[in-house]
């Protein structure tokens, strides 16, 4: 398979390269952002004398944070680093992350659903504290509950999440629920003592199964 990927720098020569990923295998290979195939892939690349090409890889459930640069004179086997994504393995993709959900007891819940505000508050606190032991703010008067950030550290990522519940602005009782899920990724192994500032986190479209179950139970109960 021949690809005409030519960087500026004079005449180009075709050379055969084999690109592979490790320790995670069978990553999707990109050279200068052009997809070449699933590793290991052997291709003929037209490379000029002074050009430097950049290869990277990606795969579901893996981290492709690292790129590999290579030239015409480099050995023919190009290895690209692809690590297991521990944070993704422990979480599930979800459409409820970082979104406000509205639970209306008048239209949801089973036969034993609760619509009285006082009883609803007691049941909410009971359900939430079964999963989130550390509650940062709990105010019955304003019908507001927020768990503390629950932080989990992995080799190349820090994940934090929390649950927020408040009363909807409606005449009848409605309950607003949000799971905030955020992540910080690093290309270097993370030390346990490293402090991650708030602005370093980004939204994470994944949640832990236990948190998703908490929202499901709230919906079922109301």
CATH number at residue 207: 3.30.530
Which residue positions in the chain have pLDDT lower than 70? Answer: 1-13, 108-115
Last-in-domain residue among 39, 57, 84? 84
pLDDT of residue 220: 85
Per-residue CA distances from 100 to 148, 163, 218 (Å): 18, 11, 14
CATH number at residue 7: 2.60.40
Write out pLDDT tens, residues 73-98: 777 899 999 999 999 999 999 999 99
- The whole domain housing 66 covers 2-84
pTM of the predicted protein model: 0.77
The overall average pLDDT reported for the chain is 88
Q: How many Cα atoms are found within 13 Å in the side-chain-facing hemisphere of 71? A: 7
Note whether 51 and 32 are within 8 A (CB): no
Q: Both 63 and 157 in a single domain?
A: no
Residue % of the chain over a pLDDT of 90: 64
Count up the domains in the chain and report the number: 2
């Amino acid at each position: 398979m021949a690809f005409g990927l030519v960087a500026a720098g004079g005449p180009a020569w075709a050379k055969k390269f084999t690109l592979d990923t490790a320790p995670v295998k069978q990553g999707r290979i990109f050279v200068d952002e052009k997809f070449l195939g699933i590793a290991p892939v052997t291709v003929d690349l037209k490379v000029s004398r002074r050009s430097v090409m950049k290869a990277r890889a990606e795969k579901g459930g893996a981290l492709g944070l690292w790129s590999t640069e290579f030239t015409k004179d480099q050995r023919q086997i190009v290895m690209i680093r692809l690590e297991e994504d521990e944070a993704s393995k422990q979480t599930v993709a979800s459409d409820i992350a970082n979104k406000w959900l509205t639970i209306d007891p008048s239209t949801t819940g089973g036969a034993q659903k609760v619509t009285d505000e006082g009883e609803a508050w007691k049941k909410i606190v009971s359900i939430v504290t079964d999963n989130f032991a550390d509650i940062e703010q709990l105010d019955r008067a304003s019908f507001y509950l927020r768990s503390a950030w629950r932080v989990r550290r992995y080799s190349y990522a820090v994940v934090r999440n929390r649950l927020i519940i408040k009363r909807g602005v409606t005449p009848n009782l409605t309950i607003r629920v949000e799971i905030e899920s955020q992540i910080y990724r690093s290309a270097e192994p993370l030390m346990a003592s490293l402090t991650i500032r708030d602005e370093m986190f980004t939204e994470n479209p994944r949640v832990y199964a236990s948190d998703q179950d908490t929202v499901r139970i709230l919906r079922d109960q109301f």
